[in-house]
Structure 1
Amino acid sequence: MDIKTAFPKIVDNIHDGLYIVDKNRAITFWNKAAERITGYAAGEVLGKKCSENILTHLDGKGNKLCTGRCPLEKTMADKKMREADIFLHHKNGHRIPVSVRVSTLNDTAGNVIGGIELFTDISYQTLTEQRIKELEKLALLDILTQLANRTGIIRALQGDLEEHKRYGVPFGILFMDIDHFKVVNDTFGHDAGDKVLKVIADTFTANSRAFDLYGRWGGEEFIGIIRNITAEALESLGNRLRTLIENTFCLHEGIPLKVTISMGATIVRRGDTIDTLIKRADTLLYESKASGRNRTSFR
């Protein structure tokens, strides 16, 4: 077996996703890890451009990279290798953080004939799966979203408040609500609404740190418990999640469904109880709703 024959088998067995594009940035190769990480089979993407509702990369500020900011496009233009942490669109709709490395594909004369992108899933999937098993054992899991349920959230907050009281360990909460969610249910049905809830939950999961916790408070309301974080970082995280969800969609019977979220964000204070903490975050959430939705109110 020569190297040309062996190449596809070799790259199919690596852990990282890898795809190759031609000079027009149409995908010509898509390995097994790319299928696993993105949810797209090779047959669904070969011959297409990644910007055609496939990966639609975003940076950490929510900027779309397929319209002039793409690291792969820049590398094919100037032949400089690049690395970046970005967010790709999974076939199921949620956003996954990945670390990408891009380089050119050259012919024997050194001319650029395409580009190569290698990408690594940097979400805490393994730790999340372990957390799910623990929550299942304790009946603290919301079945639809696979996040903590209200009981699980309250139990986690009790522990965090006690730790804050004894040791001063800071944490914050994000109280989030899907904007106009009733319109989705009334227009497309509850199955579509469930898809939207699942996509949002998966976005939280894929972009959470190992020691944070996200849960479904009820209906279309979610709470994130963000541990060991400053006020400034909490507000920044809230806006990043909000922007990711704004740029996320899921397909229902061929129709792309997009929603936004409004959010209240607050850091724990001395003397807080579960009730005072959630009430403050809930009040801030409704400030966001009253101010036009799709925003974060922090105090």
Structure 2
Amino acid sequence: MKYTANKKDAAKKPMKLENDSYEKIIENLHDGLYLVDRDRVITYWNKGAEKISGFAASEVVGRSCSDNILTHLDDDFNNLCIAGCPLAASMVAGKLRDAEVYMHHKNGHRIPVSVRVSTLADKDGNIIGGIELFTDISNHETNKLRIKELEKLALLDNLTQLANRRYIESEINNRLEEKKRFNLSFGVLFIDIDHFKAFNDTYGHDLGDKVLQFTANNFTANSRPFDMYGRWGGEEFIGVIRNINGQGLVTIGNKVRNLVEKSYINHDGKILQVTVSVGATLVGQGDDIESLIKRADELLYKSKSAGRNCVTTDCE
């Protein structure tokens, strides 16, 4: 005879989970989760953290979270591991905290994550460490679909996984047509890695390729779904930024510039970084692709002449 538990039975027999069940749940969370002791030394790192950050547990457990691992940045691109760490503040105040930060990925680029931090306490209520749960809020899924489409059309740059020059030209022409028909504004960011030849000469083309890749990853991880970034050639990139005004275009240009500047790769214990110079311009009446790209290129070289690592614009 089939037995069905009634409400009284359920109240008497609450569901219980063994400790290993909790461990499996935590280990297999989609989100990243890690624990630190009072000195902010990482003591646990789950699979979600490995997937989002690129760092394996074996690479981070036993090390400080600020030891060239996560090095969170805030919206003003301040290094929160030096001052303003949400996890450290939570352990001091004993309170939950939420924040959106830019996390360092093992491959060098920055990814936007939403973090929730709290404290860990012993049975007497003494704080013994902290816990951070972080969620990837980048535009990865949209970019995966875009990459698949570009691969089908042979419009993908194989090294950076960005659109290639042929696709950039097609995208700009489409936006120009949209401008004529609907008067929808868009802008162009012409981006060039500073002193890239010198970097290649010093460290070799393999590391140069890694720099190109983490620069490109900064664009895709932190872009809006309807914007497009592509590799124009060599160390030059172009961003086609839709539905934007001059101030917004410069803001986005400075955002990607700061994210590249704050990105790095760790090579034989040495931190390697680069900067980019940017030219930013909005489409104007009578523009074609040649005039638009030429103007953005000229603005880029004004950034180079101004000392590099800056954005130059003609937007009023």
Give distance in 1, aligned partners of 2:90 and 2:234.
45
Q: What SS is found at the alignment partner of 1:236? A: helix
Deviations 1:195-227 (A, max 9, x none): 111110111111111111100001110001111
The equivalent position to 2:167 in structure 1, one of 152, 169, 175, is 152
The equivalent position to 1:196 in structure 2, one of 211, 225, 228, is 211
Q: Give the 5 Å matches for 1:153-192.
A: 153-192=168-207
Give distance in 1, aligned partners of 2:124 and 2:184.
59
Give distance in 2, aligned partners of 1:80 and 1:155.
51
Give distance in 1, aligned partners of 2:199 and 2:277.
16
Give distance in 1, aligned partners of 2:283 and 2:97.
40
Give distance in 1, aligned partners of 2:74 and 2:231.
26
- Assess if the C-alpha contact under 8 Å between 1:61 and 1:240 holds in 2: no
Give distance in 2, aligned partners of 1:31 and 1:108.
24
The equivalent position to 2:54 in structure 1, one of 39, 60, 63, is 39
Which position in structure 1 is the counterpart of 2:27?
A: 12
Runs of 4+ displaced beyond 6 Å? none
Between 110-119 and 285-294, the greater mean CA deviation after superposition:
110-119
Deviation at 1:36, TM superposition (A): 0.4
Deviations 1:235-284 (A, max 9, x none): 11111111111111123455432110000011112221111111111111
Between 106-115 and 213-222, the greater mean CA deviation after superposition:
106-115
Q: Give the 5 Å matches for 1:283-294.
A: 283-294=298-309
Give distance in 2, aligned partners of 1:111 and 1:229.
51
- 1:76 maps to a residue whose letter is M
Q: What SS is found at the alignment partner of 1:44? A: helix
Which position in structure 2 is the counterpart of 1:225?
A: 240
Give the length in aligned residue pairs: 299
Which position in structure 1 is the counterpart of 2:266?
A: 251
Which position in structure 2 is the counterpart of 1:65?
A: 80
Structure 1 residue 92 corresponds to structure 2 residue 70: no
Give distance in 2, aligned partners of 1:8 and 1:40.
20
Which position in structure 2 is the counterpart of 1:269?
A: 284
TM-score, structure 1 as length reference: 0.97
Which position in structure 2 is the counterpart of 1:108?
A: 123
Q: Is the radius of gyration larger for structure 1 or structure 2? A: 2
Structure 1 residue 26 corresponds to structure 2 residue 41: yes
Q: What SS is found at the alignment partner of 2:49? A: helix
Which position in structure 2 is the counterpart of 1:123?
A: 138
- 1:256 maps to a residue whose letter is I
Matched residues, percent identical? Answer: 60
Deviation at 1:10, TM superposition (A): 1.1
Q: What SS is found at the alignment partner of 1:36? A: helix
- Assess if the C-alpha contact under 8 Å between 1:176 and 1:223 holds in 2: yes
Give distance in 2, aligned partners of 1:186 and 1:124.
34
Give distance in 2, aligned partners of 1:67 and 1:50.
11
CA RMSD in angstroms comes to: 1.3
Which position in structure 1 is the counterpart of 2:149?
A: 134
Q: What SS is found at the alignment partner of 1:92? A: coil
Give distance in 2, aligned partners of 1:18 and 1:158.
44
Give distance in 1, aligned partners of 2:90 and 2:241.
36
Deviations 1:34-70 (A, max 9, x none): 0000011111111111100000111122110001211
Deviations 1:14-34 (A, max 9, x none): 110001111111111111000
Q: What SS is found at the alignment partner of 1:18? A: strand
Deviation at 1:135, TM superposition (A): 0.6
Deviations 1:79-103 (A, max 9, x none): 2211111110111111111011111
- Assess if the C-alpha contact under 8 Å between 1:266 and 1:281 holds in 2: yes
Give distance in 2, aligned partners of 1:201 and 1:176.
11
- Assess if the C-alpha contact under 8 Å between 1:27 and 1:45 holds in 2: yes
